[in-house]
């Protein structure tokens, strides 16, 4: 029986080529925490998360000081036992945020290692629900200085030109008329038959304001409105859902099956965007996906398409993978040695064992980072 012999973490900061804006914040760089787990049979598994635009070292510190000591010597196949032990250890330090991201990525690394040991792609190791490809949508539409509505429309159309049947853009930063101009340009550029998702990134704090915006957005046939409020405002999500016909999608920075159950019980979301690198890892993602399936709710995970292509492909209620064609916005792809292929309007499922990629150490060396420890 294999044993875990080391758990290491490091933080890498990658600057953005251009400052990028959301509804309520601007980002100039991204911090990622990387993890690798090794076992005494020579196998290795990797995990990673987005650790914010500052303070990423907090995640690595949690891995090194709280989680790693409890994992060394454990059986890597004891995923549930390890998860339960680690969750209890971090209970006082944070059931959400950086500490839960630390737990998430060591859990991902365990699943990656075990799938590699079985010589299977991760989605097959988990139990495939799709073959060959999974549906994907093109994600972008960020606010950039000097970016006009027409330029936004061209960007959205470029994703459609890749063969994608759905696209997503940011909303919520401007006033009603400027936002309508952006959405109108996007819809005109992609035509009436392409799904158009809108991402508000917690833009609004009250239901009346959200309703005013949604009344303006509705004629452009949005497929969903994403994160209209702070994740803590579950009741506001539920009230808005009862008042509009556009589905609400949320959950990308939500954690734990218990919070997701509250969201589902209150009918606060029609689509869950659970992120395995945030919610508690693959172990917890699978619990949440099964729970959502009981409510007839589909899973459309938040970014990291290289990771989530496997989880959508292994979930009977997996619907879409969020795919970022533009590395200038989501620059994690610069750190790994394999990129996914678009095929027939979706993402081709990897054939390599585990996650199907490894960290590119030579590329990582170009960026600000600490050492593996």
Supply the DSSP symbol for 69: H
Read off φ and ψ for residue 85, nearest 5 degrees.
-65, -45
Mean per-residue pLDDT for 58-82? 98
Q: Where are the alpha helices (DSSP H) in 65-175?
A: 68-71, 79-90, 98-117, 122-126, 149-161
On whether the CB atoms of residues 140 and 159 are closer than 8 A, the answer is yes
Spell out the residues 6+ positions from residue 366 whose beta carbon is closer than 8 angstroms to its own. none
Return the SS3 of 26. Answer: strand
Strand-pairing partners, residue 27, are 20
pLDDT of 162 strictly over 80: yes
Taking Cα atoms as reference points, which of 245, 230, 350, 250 lies closest to residue 298?
A: 250
For residue 314, the Cα-to-chain-centroid distance in whole angstroms is 16
pLDDT of 202 strictly over 90: yes
pLDDT of 312 strictly over 90: yes
Q: CA torsion 236→237→241→244, rounded to 10°?
A: 70
Supply the DSSP symbol for 334: G
On whether the CB atoms of residues 342 and 136 are closer than 8 A, the answer is yes
Mean per-residue pLDDT for 30-38? 97
Condensed to tens digits (0 to 9), the pLDDT of residues 164-197 reads 999 999 999 999 999 999 999 999 999 999 999 9
Percentage of residues in the chain with pLDDT exceeding 90?
93
Condensed to tens digits (0 to 9), the pLDDT of residues 73-131 reads 999 999 999 999 999 999 999 899 999 999 999 999 999 999 999 999 999 999 999 99
pLDDT of 209 strictly over 90: yes
CA–CA separation, 146 vs 12, rounded Å? 29
Q: Where are the alpha helices (DSSP H) in 244-280?
A: 256-265, 276-279
What is the pLDDT at residue 99?
97
Condensed to tens digits (0 to 9), the pLDDT of residues 261-296 reads 999 999 999 999 999 999 999 999 999 999 999 999
Average model confidence (pLDDT) across the chain: 96
What is the pLDDT at residue 259?
97
Mean per-residue pLDDT for 22-28? 83
pLDDT of 330 strictly over 90: no
Mean per-residue pLDDT for 40-53? 96
Lowest mean pLDDT among 20-34, 203-217, 333-347, 350-364: 20-34
Q: Using 50, 70 and 90 to split pLDDT, how confident is the model at 32?
A: very high
Q: What is the CA radius of gyration of the chain?
A: 20
What is the sign of the dihedral through the CA atoms of 175, 178, 180 and 182? Answer: negative
Q: Using 50, 70 and 90 to split pLDDT, how confident is the model at 27?
A: confident
What are the angstrom distances between the C-alpha of 335 and each of 7, 12, 189, 285, 330?
A: 19, 9, 32, 24, 11
What is the pLDDT at residue 18?
84
Beta strand 298-299 pairing with 271-272: parallel
Spell out the residues 6+ positions from residue 208 whose beta carbon is closer than 8 angstroms to its own. none
Q: Using 50, 70 and 90 to split pLDDT, how confident is the model at 319?
A: very high
pLDDT of 234 strictly over 80: yes
CA–CA separation, 94 vs 329, rounded Å? 29
Q: Using 50, 70 and 90 to split pLDDT, how confident is the model at 10?
A: very high
CA–CA separation, 220 vs 125, rounded Å? 41
What is the pLDDT at residue 122?
98
Spell out the residues 6+ positions from residue 91 whose beta carbon is closer than 8 angstroms to its own. none
pLDDT of 353 strictly over 90: yes
What is the pLDDT at residue 94?
86
């Amino acid at each position: 029986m294999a044993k875990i012999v080391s758990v290491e973490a490091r933080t890498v900061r990658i600057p953005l080529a251009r400052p990028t804006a959301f509804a309520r914040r601007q980002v100039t760089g991204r911090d990622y925490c990387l993890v690798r787990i090794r076992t005494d049979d020579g196998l290795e598994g990797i995990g990673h998360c987005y650790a914010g635009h500052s303070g990423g070292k907090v995640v690595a510190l949690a891995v090194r000081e709280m989680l790693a000591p409890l994992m060394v010597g454990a059986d890597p196949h004891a995923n549930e036992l390890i998860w339960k032990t680690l969750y209890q250890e971090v209970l006082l330090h944070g059931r959400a945020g950086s500490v839960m991201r630390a737990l998430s990525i060591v859990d991902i690394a365990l699943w990656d290692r075990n799938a590699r040991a079985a010589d299977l792609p991760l989605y097959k190791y988990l139990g495939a629900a799709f073959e060959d490809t999974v549906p994907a949508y093109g994600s972008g539409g960020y606010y950039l200085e000097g970016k006009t509505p027409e330029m936004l429309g061209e960007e959205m159309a470029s994703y459609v030109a890749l063969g994608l049947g759905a696209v997503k853009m940011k909303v919520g930063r401007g006033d009603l008329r400027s936002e309508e101009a952006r959405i109108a340009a996007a819809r005109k550029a992609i035509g009436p038959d392409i799904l158009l998702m809108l991402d508000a990134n917690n833009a609004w704090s009250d239901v009346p304001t959200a309703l005013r915006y949604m009344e303006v957005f509705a004629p452009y046939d949005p497929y969903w409105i994403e994160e209209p409020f702070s994740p803590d405002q579950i009741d506001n999500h539920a009230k808005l859902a009862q008042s509009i016909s556009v589905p609400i999608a949320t959950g990308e920075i939500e954690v734990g099956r218990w919070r997701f159950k509250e969201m589902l019980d209150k009918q606060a979301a029609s689509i869950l965007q659970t992120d395995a690198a945030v919610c508690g890892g693959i172990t917890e993602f699978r619990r949440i996906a099964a729970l959502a399936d009981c409510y007839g709710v589909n899973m459309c995970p938040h970014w990291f398409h290289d990771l989530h292509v496997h989880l959508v492909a292994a979930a009977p209620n997996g619907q879409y993978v969020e795919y970022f064609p533009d590395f200038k916005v989501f620059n994690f792809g610069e750190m790994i040695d394999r990129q996914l292929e678009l095929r027939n309007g979706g993402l081709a499922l990897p054939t390599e064992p585990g996650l199907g990629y490894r960290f590119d150490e030579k590329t990582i060396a170009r960026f600000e980072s600490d050492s593996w420890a």
